[in-house]
Amino acid sequence: MFRTFLIKYGEIAIKGKNRHLFEDALVKQICHALRPVDGKFHVYKEQGRIYIDCGSQEDPENGMFDFEGTVEALKCVFGIVGICPVLKVEDRGIEQLGTDVIGFLEQAYDVHGQTFKVAARRARKSYPIESMEVDRVLGGRILEAFPQMRVDVHEPEIMLHVEIREKIYIYSKIIPGPGGMPVGTNGKAMLLLSGGIDSPVAGYMICKRGVRIDATYFHAPPYTSERAKQKVVDLARRIAKYAGPIDLHVVNFTDIQLYIYDQCPHDELTIIMRRYMMRIAEHFAKETGSLALVTGESIGQVASQTMQSLAATNEVCTIPVFRPLIGFDKQEIVNVAERIDTYETSILPYEDCCTIFVAKHPVTKPNLNVIRRSEQKLNEKIDELVRTAIETTETIRVW
Amino acid sequence: MEAYLDNSATTRCTESVRDAVVRAMMEDYGNPSSRHQKGLDAERSLREARETLARTLRVSEKEIYFTSGATESNNWALIGAAAANRRAGMHLITTAIEHPAVLMPMQYLQEQGFRVTYLPVDSAGQISLDDLEQAICDDTILVSIMYVNNEVGAIEPIAEAGKRIRARNPRILFHVDAVQAYGKMPVYPKTLGVDMLSASAHKIHGPKGIGFLYINERVKIHPLLLGGGQQKGMRSGTDNVPGAVGLAQAAKEAYANLEEERRHFLELKRRLMEGLAALPQVVIHSQPGEQGAAHIVSAAFPGVRSEVLLHALEERGVYVSAGSACSSNKKQPVSAVLKELHLRPELLESTLRFSFGRFTTAEEIDYCLQTLAQLLPVLRRYTRH
């Protein structure tokens, strides 16, 4: 019965003069999200609302479409707070509207003794009957048709919305959307993506605030396998469901890692390695218009994520580093990962380059001066190695 | 240079197999169940394929059933025979080092109420016949033992096992997973006392997706796949004529050159094992010469994780496997078979398997050894602390 969705959005509504930019971005993201869904979708703005008319490729007006798939896709579009399947009817007078409303209830519910309330909204002021009067008339018709139903204006079980515009829209269910802001309205950032649980969640969180992302992954063959790389591509693809297309930079990091291993104390290996990862990621960020770096770090989770270690890796960056998970517990991160469907992929047992040479007792309180002095030992070859790593980086577009 | 030393995972098709398969797809494409001439032609190809296989095993062609591969053959043999004979008893025997295509159906049967005994193996990967004899109970209905272990190449004493089982109770069914033996050595179920035997085409330069199950005429077994009644109602589903023809061609070629190929494999094996023994700190699990399969060599390289070594070899065009390819995508990367050999942990996580096929050359072995000699010192220098 539902061929139309009404999209409710939250924060965008308060954006003043820039509002249309946010709405346009939302329309664009909705179109992107619906591309793989079976059906033909017409997304349009009308009087401060976004509607989607649905049909099939062959018959956009009346054909069948994948309703469940449409809802699932819309649940991935940031900026949407509510997805309302609506019945769109022509205005053929209040009598017919009463009949339409009764038909709506019959089809959408197994009507027994539920309580209800009619909430009419007359957006088209030329409609001859005032909202309160519409409520009253429709409420009367419903009680006539279903004598077992009762009116409850405070906590109704069925809240029946009737919006009178060019056409009339009837809906009662609001499926929650993911919230946030439309991707593309808040600039772009570079995500340091590993194969773990945290970084995909960090990417998701930053996108939720409307930020478009690219990603950098550090590959260390033969210590990490092609399958580990494929896993990261798969994770990027999952995030792209929310984020839109992602450019994934795959950096071959082996030679840098081995050089650090040869020259520096082993307990500092991870910190120094991460400093070089930040430097390289920042290089690609600047080159491709990202304004910040994003990592999945959370305070104290591992040795390289103590306050001192974070400070030591942060020091090499000249652009902001955002850590959306900084205050999250592991379980909270896992919960999000499960919800956005990255968890199962993240726990596949391929080794990533952060763990291959990890020392038994890595430093947890690195002293910046000591780290800098250790890095001096790399002077001879490191610039050359970093340059080679950057030049040989492979960029994969994922969506 | 490239060295493909993972032939126990799968092999490349020979050109004659490819031609036979293509002919069956493009010319003999009829359905053997159709009544017209095209159906008849296809049926004839199928019968010839079945006869060819029967000849290699010295059995009747009525005892050959085509399947989608050894996994289906093993599932069918175990589940189908257990179901048909459950009134005679609820006890099954197998070994601890079987392929998952035997172990998982066994586990399923356990869930259905059967008791399963898993025979241990010694450090060479072989079961003890006395263990087998002791494991047999009054209600034992089925014994399943693999012919050649896929990970270390151990050859199980099938003929002796067959004798002991028969001596104890001739009604017990004896199934053999012969995936790594068929096409590599003579396999005669009748003289071995084997009632059911599984094999697969793609391990012997045939196509993937086809295998067979030999079922002795005396065996009571239920079908697993029900449908159009093909293969005497025992295995429904439109006959895979191209697959069957490819399998028969591959089997014919394997057995035509059996002796020559065996000598070729033994020479490669000797070359590889001597070369490995000359490298520092290498532990070879496989038995030398004819005491083990001629085409499989398993060895550990302590100090290097097998996955790292595998990828480092791969970068230089040498393809091998860590554990067996079939068990490589599990959460627990360490091989269950190697564990059964009670190896030290450092050997468990550093073991590679090298396996030969008809196209393997001495040059490939030398290249592999040379590459290992270059890689090992470098890889051993960079380790976890």
The residue assigned the tokens 């609820």 is B90
**Residue contact B333–A359, C-beta within 8 A:** no
Q: What CA–CA distance (Å, rounded) separates B68 from B211? A: 6
Is A156 contained in some domain? yes
Tokens of B168: 């104890």
**Residue contact A221–B331, C-beta within 8 A:** no
Same topology between domain B3-11+257-381 and domain B15-255: no
**Residue contact A226–B311, C-beta within 8 A:** yes
Tokens of B279: 């490298």
Please spell the DSSP secondary structure of B196-211, one letter per residue.
EEEEESGGGT--TT-E
Q: What CA–CA distance (Å, rounded) separates B25 from B11? A: 21
Among residues A121, A151, A176, the one where a domain terminates is A176
User: Domain B15-255, what fold?
Assistant: Aspartate Aminotransferase; domain 2 (3.40.640)
Specify whether the CB–CB gap between A171 and A101 falls below 8 A. no
Q: What residues in chain A have their Cβ under 8 A from chain B's Cβ atoms?
A: 221-223, 225-226, 258, 261, 266, 349, 351, 356-360
Is A182 contained in some domain? no
**Residue contact B308–A223, C-beta within 8 A:** yes
What is the total count of domains within chain A? 2
Q: Any bridge partners for residue B177, and if so which?
A: B146, B198
- Given a cut of 70, whether residue B298 has pLDDT beyond it is yes
Q: Which domain holds residue A146?
A: 4-176
Q: Which residues of B are catalytic?
A: 326
On the CB side of A317, CA atoms within 13 Å amount to: 25
User: Domain with A124 in it: what CATH number?
Assistant: 3.30.2130.30
Predicted confidence at residue B332, as pLDDT, reads: 45
Q: Looking at the structure, do residues A312 and A339 belong to the same domain, yes or no?
A: yes
Q: Which helix (DSSP H) or strand (DSSP E) does residue A246 occupy?
A: strand A246-252
Alpha carbon of B113: minimum distance to chain A alpha carbons (Å): 32
Specify whether the CB–CB gap between B106 and B146 falls below 8 A. no
Residues of B in contact with A358 (CB under 8 A): 384
Q: Looking at the structure, do residues A152 and A193 belong to the same domain, yes or no?
A: no
- Given a cut of 50, whether residue B324 has pLDDT beyond it is no
B173 closest CA partner among B133, B219, B129: B219
**Residue contact A358–B312, C-beta within 8 A:** no
Q: Looking at the structure, do residues A158 and A225 belong to the same domain, yes or no?
A: no
Alpha carbon of A267: minimum distance to chain B alpha carbons (Å): 9
Q: Looking at the structure, do residues A333 and A197 belong to the same domain, yes or no?
A: yes
Residue pLDDT, tens place only, B326-338: 444 444 455 778 8
Please spell the DSSP secondary structure of A129-178, one letter per residue.
S-HHHHHHHHHHHHHHH-TT-EE-SSS-SEEEEEEESSSEEEE---EE--
Q: What value does the mean pLDDT take over residues B290-304? A: 95
Q: For residue A99, give the 3-state DSSP assignment.
A: helix
Distances in Å between the alpha carbon of A262 and those of A184, A257, A382, B382, B383? 43, 9, 12, 9, 11
Q: What CA–CA distance (Å, rounded) separates B76 from B177? A: 12
Predicted confidence at residue A112, as pLDDT, reads: 85
Among residues A176, A199, A231, the one where a domain terminates is A176
- Given a cut of 50, whether residue B182 has pLDDT beyond it is yes
Angle at A26 between CA A22 and CA A27, to 5 degrees: 120
Alpha carbon of B332: minimum distance to chain A alpha carbons (Å): 8
User: Domain B3-11+257-381, what fold?
Assistant: Aspartate Aminotransferase, domain 1 (3.90.1150)
Predicted confidence at residue B334, as pLDDT, reads: 58
Predicted confidence at residue A18, as pLDDT, reads: 79
Q: Looking at the structure, do residues A206 and A116 belong to the same domain, yes or no?
A: no
Rg (CA), chain B: 21
User: Domain with A313 in it: what CATH number?
Assistant: 3.40.50.620
Alpha carbon of B318: minimum distance to chain A alpha carbons (Å): 13
Specify whether the CB–CB gap between A170 and A86 falls below 8 A. yes
pLDDT in tens, chain A (399 residues): 789 999 998 766 566 777 888 889 999 999 999 999 999 999 999 877 899 999 998 888 888 999 999 999 999 999 999 999 999 999 999 999 999 999 999 998 998 889 999 999 998 899 999 999 999 999 999 999 999 999 999 999 999 999 999 899 999 999 999 999 999 888 999 999 998 999 999 999 999 999 999 999 999 998 888 888 999 999 999 999 999 899 999 999 999 999 999 999 989 999 999 999 999 999 999 999 999 999 999 998 888 889 999 999 999 999 999 999 999 999 999 999 999 999 999 888 777 766 777 777 888 888 999 999 999 999 999 999 999 999 999 999 998
Cβ partners under 8 Å of residue A257, min gap 6: A220, A223, A273, A353, A356, A357
Q: What CA–CA distance (Å, rounded) separates A349 from B179? A: 28
- In percent, how much of chain B has pLDDT > 70? 96
Residue pLDDT, tens place only, B101-144: 999 999 999 999 999 999 999 999 999 999 999 999 999 999 99
Q: Looking at the structure, do residues A116 and A259 belong to the same domain, yes or no?
A: no
Establish, for the pair of chains A and B, how many residue pairs have beta carbons separated by less than 8 Å: 31
Residues of B in contact with A349 (CB under 8 A): 331-333
Q: Any bridge partners for residue A252, and if so which?
A: A219
Residue pLDDT, tens place only, B259-274: 999 999 999 999 999 9
List, in sequence order, the alpha helices (H) in chain B. 15-26, 37-57, 70-75, 81-84, 100-111, 129-135, 158-168, 189-192, 241-256, 258-278, 306-315, 336-340, 345-348, 362-381
Alpha carbon of B372: minimum distance to chain A alpha carbons (Å): 14
Structural domain spans, chain B: 3-11+257-381, 15-255
Predicted confidence at residue A15, as pLDDT, reads: 67
Q: Looking at the structure, do residues A154 and A236 belong to the same domain, yes or no?
A: no
Specify whether the CB–CB gap between A192 and A325 falls below 8 A. no
Q: Looking at the structure, do residues A314 and A172 belong to the same domain, yes or no?
A: no
Q: What CA–CA distance (Å, rounded) separates A370 from B39? A: 81
A170 closest CA partner among A116, A212, A218, A220: A116
DSSP state at residue A126: T
Specify whether the CB–CB gap between B187 and B54 falls below 8 A. no
Is A265 contained in some domain? yes
Q: Which helix (DSSP H) or strand (DSSP E) does residue B253 occupy?
A: helix B241-256
Tokens of A17: 């003069």
Measured between CB atoms, which of B308, B310, B384 is closest to A358?
B384
By C-alpha distance, the chain A residue nearest B305 is: A223
Q: Any bridge partners for residue A150, and if so which?
A: A115
Among residues A176, A204, A222, the one where a domain terminates is A176
Q: In what order do the strands lie in the sheet with A394-398?
A: A321-322, A293-294, A188-192, A212-219, A246-252, A394-398
Count CB neighbours of A183 within 10 A.
Answer: 26
The residue assigned the tokens 């290992």 is B372
One-letter identity of residue B215:
I
Q: Looking at the structure, do residues A161 and A296 belong to the same domain, yes or no?
A: no
Residue pLDDT, tens place only, B79-106: 999 999 999 999 999 999 999 999 999 9
Q: Looking at the structure, do residues A138 and A246 belong to the same domain, yes or no?
A: no
**Residue contact A222–B310, C-beta within 8 A:** yes
- Given a cut of 90, whether residue B317 has pLDDT beyond it is yes
Specify whether the CB–CB gap between A335 and A243 falls below 8 A. no
By C-alpha distance, the chain B residue nearest A267 is: B385
Q: What CA–CA distance (Å, rounded) separates A290 from B155? A: 60
**Residue contact A357–B311, C-beta within 8 A:** no
Q: Looking at the structure, do residues A291 and A150 belong to the same domain, yes or no?
A: no
Specify whether the CB–CB gap between B184 and B293 falls below 8 A. yes
Residue pLDDT, tens place only, B6-17: 999 999 999 999
Residues of B in contact with A258 (CB under 8 A): 382
By C-alpha distance, the chain A residue nearest B384 is: A357
Residues of B in contact with A357 (CB under 8 A): 382-385
Q: What CA–CA distance (Å, rounded) separates B265 from B7? A: 12
Q: Give the N- to C-terminal CA distance of chain B in Å, as an integer.
A: 34
By C-alpha distance, the chain B residue nearest A259 is: B382
